[in-house]
């Protein structure tokens, strides 16, 4: 460990943050027995301590993102355990531990960018396999596979794979081939094709809420591929791409299914018991919560469908207050923005960070603005805060990718790139 | 309901975020030291111009998007790439018009050592340790 003092203080303040939240639950929360609060506190503080003890064994060079992750996950456990009355949400607790394990997996797989980049064909194949699974098992109007004891959303697992597929190194972008008058990088065409197929699949199985997230991942990869390695880019290309996106958006609205059009143009206050039910309840909940909330477990939104996932922002606003909910969003933004404080040393890792940041930002925006009726309701989860195993595992993996960019390995032997074919003679 | 406890919790959360950002800054500082150690603290120099080597892939060329931009018509738009791996630097010719010469020998891909002279077109770059010029 290179900085034991900063490690110690980080542990201390994460524990203090959770401690004050738990004290707030004890003071203001609704519970039938103090034992429920004690069990919740033991679970949260125990997970903190366990993670702080286990983390140094991975011999990472940086830990800041890990601390942010454990801070947010345990905040999430406290929030979810308090909806409708204080009681440890065991299922959510287990999914949070799975997310931490998934984060470790993401770190281990991505810390050596040359290795993971050399496996790009497996990444493409992984996306293909997931799409075949969607095709065979979810059906055309569903996004879930029901295993009986749990449900899985396979499209969630495509997100980290698409981020890895879109990431590129500078060397790879030099591997150009001349086709007619254009210098083409074959990988760029393949990524475009993969993204197009993924988006069509999402449309086919009516997981329309995920389309902006996949679009954002591809857009960040696309911009970084044409802008590499510095912000020197063709404005003409970007303007054409922007026009294409706008046209696609208009066409999508025109051909959208009736229930989507209804959501776009609905006035929720005209139909508070039908189409506008969740959003109207969510807005009332946010208003009733005010700045400081009603107290943990004292809200009424927990009775509304998807209160712990799709409108979780409103549920937190109601019980903890708008200030606390905004702090939670700030924490998520800081975690994804950590690479701005400690920038990656490789272009590939920089691409990964941009992809993760794009995916998280779009998901947060869709969830929060959807809850607040600023955009149509999409049903997208809030990373790490909403309940849901598939989302939690993939979000954990994506944060592991950011951790990898902060603690990279550059230990492989010199790789000969003498066979690189380029068409950029000056 | 006691709002002051919620306010304290928010304040502690704020401080925690600040501490973690400071931790990240400290890690950045130690990361720089580690990078210098791992890459032998090398740099490229051309007369008075110094080019720090702060990434694992550095593109040299005439194009505005190159990491090390050399505005000279004898240098290709994307002329050469410097790579570091396992603490060893190497230079690769990106199929440039005039090629790369390291210590007078034309090369396609070669490992670099301290004091090597890299010639791109009519320009001459020296691969050297940072301490030498201080």
Angle, helix A120-133 to helix A154-166, in steps of 10 degrees: 160
- Alpha-carbon distance of A199 to A127, in angstroms, equals 12
Query: Residue A412: what pLDDT?
Result: 53
Cβ-defined contact of A415 to B20 (cutoff 8 Å): no
Angle, helix A4-28 to helix A34-54, in steps of 10 degrees: 170
Residue pLDDT, tens place only, B26-53: 999 998 888 888 888 888 998 888 998 8
Neighbours of B105 (CB within 10 A): 9
Query: Residue A231: what pLDDT?
Result: 46
Cβ-defined contact of B24 to A64 (cutoff 8 Å): yes
Quick check: A420 pLDDT over 60? no
Q: Coil, strand or helix: which one is A145? A: strand
Nearest CA in chain B to A332: B17
Nearest CA in chain A to B64: A232
Which residue of B27, B81, B83 is in closest CB contact with A3? B27
Cβ-defined contact of B19 to A17 (cutoff 8 Å): no
Cβ-defined contact of A13 to B24 (cutoff 8 Å): no
Q: Rounded mean pLDDT of A230-255?
A: 75
Residues of A in contact with B17 (CB under 8 A): 330-331, 334
Residue pLDDT, tens place only, A339-380: 999 999 888 999 999 999 999 999 999 999 988 888 887 778
Quick check: A28 pLDDT over 90? no
Quick check: B16 pLDDT over 90? yes
Nearest CA in chain A to B66: A229
Q: What sections of A29-185 are H helices per DSSP? A: 34-54, 64-82, 90-110, 113-118, 120-133, 154-166, 170-173
Calculate what percentage of chain B has a pLDDT beyond 90: 46
Strands B57-61 and B68-69: parallel
Whether residue B103 lies within 8 A of chain A, CB to CB, comes out as no
Query: Residue A187: what pLDDT?
Result: 87
Q: Rounded mean pLDDT of A111-129?
A: 92
Residue pLDDT, tens place only, A122-132: 999 999 999 88
Q: How far is A221 from chain B (nearest CA, A)?
A: 17
The encoded tokens of residue B100 equal 């790369």
Residues of B in contact with A7 (CB under 8 A): 23
Quick check: A64 pLDDT over 70? yes
Query: Residue A279: what pLDDT?
Result: 85
Contact B127, B42 (CB under 8 A): yes
Between A232 and B15, residue with greater pLDDT: B15
Q: Which of B9, B29, B86, B110 to mutate to test the interface with A (most CBs of A within 10 A)?
A: B9
Contact A102, A393 (CB under 8 A): yes
Quick check: A148 pLDDT over 80? no
Range of weakest confidence among A83-97, A225-239, A376-390: A225-239
Angle, helix A120-133 to helix A186-204, in steps of 10 degrees: 20
Query: Residue B3: what pLDDT?
Result: 84
Query: Residue A421: what pLDDT?
Result: 36
Residue pLDDT, tens place only, A286-333: 999 999 989 888 888 888 888 888 889 999 999 999 999 999 999 999
Whether residue B83 lies within 8 A of chain A, CB to CB, comes out as yes
Contact A352, A405 (CB under 8 A): yes
Cβ-defined contact of A71 to B16 (cutoff 8 Å): yes
Query: Residue B131: what pLDDT?
Result: 65
Q: How far is A164 from chain B (nearest CA, A)?
A: 18
Whether residue B71 lies within 8 A of chain A, CB to CB, comes out as no
DSSP codes joined into one string, A152-198: E-HHHHHHHHHHHHH---HHHHT--EEETTEEE-HHHHHHHHHHHHH
Cβ-defined contact of A426 to B96 (cutoff 8 Å): yes
- Alpha-carbon distance of A376 to A378, in angstroms, equals 6
Confidence of residue A16 (pLDDT cuts 50, 70, 90): very high
- Distance from chain centroid for Cα A339: 16
Between A209 and A393, residue with greater pLDDT: A393
Cβ-defined contact of A3 to B30 (cutoff 8 Å): yes
Task: Calculate the average pLDDT of chain B.
Answer: 88
Which residue of A62, A295, A327 is in closest CB contact with B27? A62
Whether residue B66 lies within 8 A of chain A, CB to CB, comes out as yes
Q: Rounded mean pLDDT of A82-106?
A: 93
Confidence of residue A196 (pLDDT cuts 50, 70, 90): very high
Query: Residue A68: what pLDDT?
Result: 95
ipTM of the complex: 0.88
- Cβ neighbours for B52, distance < 8 A, ≥ 6 positions apart: B43
Query: Residue A239: what pLDDT?
Result: 82
Cβ-defined contact of B95 to A321 (cutoff 8 Å): no
Query: Residue A426: what pLDDT?
Result: 39
- Cross-strand bridge partners of residue A92: none
Calculate what percentage of chain A has a pLDDT beyond 70: 92
Cβ-defined contact of B24 to A62 (cutoff 8 Å): yes
Which residue of B12, B21, B65 is in closest CB contact with A334? B21
Q: How far is B83 from chain A (nearest CA, A)?
A: 8
Residue pLDDT, tens place only, B96-106: 888 999 999 99
Cβ-defined contact of A417 to B88 (cutoff 8 Å): no
- Which helix (H) or strand (E) segment holds residue B89: the answer is strand B88-93
Cβ-defined contact of B30 to A420 (cutoff 8 Å): no
Confidence of residue A229 (pLDDT cuts 50, 70, 90): very low
Q: Rounded mean pLDDT of B81-86?
A: 88
Cβ-defined contact of B109 to A228 (cutoff 8 Å): no
Positive or negative, the CA dihedral A386, A388, A393, A395 is negative
Query: Residue B35: what pLDDT?
Result: 87
Q: What is the dihedral of CA A160, A161, A166, A168, to 10 degrees?
A: 100
Q: How far is B40 from chain A (nearest CA, A)?
A: 13
Query: Residue A227: what pLDDT?
Result: 66
The one-character DSSP state at B62 is S
Confidence of residue A269 (pLDDT cuts 50, 70, 90): confident
């Amino acid at each position: 460990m290179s900085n034991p003092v900063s490690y110690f203080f980080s542990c201390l303040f994460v524990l203090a943050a959770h401690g004050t939240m738990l004290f707030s639950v004890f003071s203001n929360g609704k519970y039938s027995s103090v034992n429920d609060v004690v069990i919740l506190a033991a679970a949260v503080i125990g997970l903190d301590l366990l993670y702080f003890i286990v983390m140094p064994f991975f011999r990472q060079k940086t830990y800041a993102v890990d601390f942010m992750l454990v801070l947010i996950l345990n905040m999430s456990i406290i929030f979810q355990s308090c909806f409708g009355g204080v009681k440890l949400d065991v299922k959510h607790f287990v999914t949070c531990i799975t997310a931490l394990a998934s984060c470790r997996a993401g770190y281990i797989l991505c810390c050596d960018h040359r290795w993971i980049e050399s496996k790009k064909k497996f990444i493409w194949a992984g996306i293909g396999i997931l799409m075949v699974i969607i095709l065979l098992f979810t059906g055309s109007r569903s996004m879930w596979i029901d295993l009986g004891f749990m449900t899985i959303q396979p499209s969630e697992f495509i997100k980290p794979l698409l981020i890895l597929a879109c990431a590129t190194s500078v060397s790879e972008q030099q591997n150009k081939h001349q086709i007619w008058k254009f210098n083409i990088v074959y990988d760029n065409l393949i990524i475009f094709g993969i993204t197009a197929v993924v988006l069509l699949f999402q449309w086919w199985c009516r997981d329309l809420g995920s389309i902006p997230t996949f679009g954002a991942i591809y857009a960040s990869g696309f911009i970084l591929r044409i802008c590499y390695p510095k912000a020197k880019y063709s404005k003409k290309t970007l303007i054409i791409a922007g026009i294409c996106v706008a046209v696609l958006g208009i066409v999508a609205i025109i051909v959208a299914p009736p229930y989507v059009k209804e959501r776009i143009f609905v006035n929720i206050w005209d139909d508070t018991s039908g189409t506008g039910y969740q959003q109207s309840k969510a807005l009332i909940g946010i208003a009733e919560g005010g700045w400081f909330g009603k107290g943990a477990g004292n809200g009424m939104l927990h009775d509304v469908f998807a209160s712990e996932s799709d409108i979780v922002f409103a549920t937190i606003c109601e019980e903890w207050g708008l200030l606390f909910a905004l702090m939670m969003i700030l924490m998520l933004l800081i975690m994804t923005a950590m690479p701005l404080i400690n920038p990656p040393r490789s272009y590939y890792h920089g691409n990964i960070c941009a992809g993760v940041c794009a995916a998280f930002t779009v998901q947060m925006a869709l969830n929060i603005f959807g809850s607040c009726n600023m955009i149509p309701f999409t049903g997208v989860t809030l990373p790490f805060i909403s309940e849901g195993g598939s989302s939690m595992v993939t979000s954990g993996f994506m944060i592991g990718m950011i951790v990898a960019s902060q603690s990279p390995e550059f230990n492989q032997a010199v790789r000969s790139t003498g066979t690189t074919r380029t068409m950029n003679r000056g | 309901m006691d709002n002051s406890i919620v306010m304290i919790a928010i304040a502690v959360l704020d401080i925690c975020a600040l501490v973690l950002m400071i931790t990240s800054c400290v890690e950045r500082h130690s990361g720089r030291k580690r990078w210098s150690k791992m890459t032998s603290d090398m740099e490229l120099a051309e007369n008075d111009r110094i080019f720090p080597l702060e990434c694992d892939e550095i593109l040299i060329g005439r194009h505005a998007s190159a990491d090390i931009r050399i505005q000279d018509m004898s240098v290709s738009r994307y002329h050469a790439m410097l790579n570091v791996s396992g603490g060893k630097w190497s230079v690769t010719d990106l199929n440039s018009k005039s090629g790369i010469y390291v210590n007078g020998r034309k090369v396609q891909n070669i490992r670099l050592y301290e004091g090597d002279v890299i010639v791109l077109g009519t320009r001459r770059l020296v691969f050297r340790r940072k301490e030498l010029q201080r």
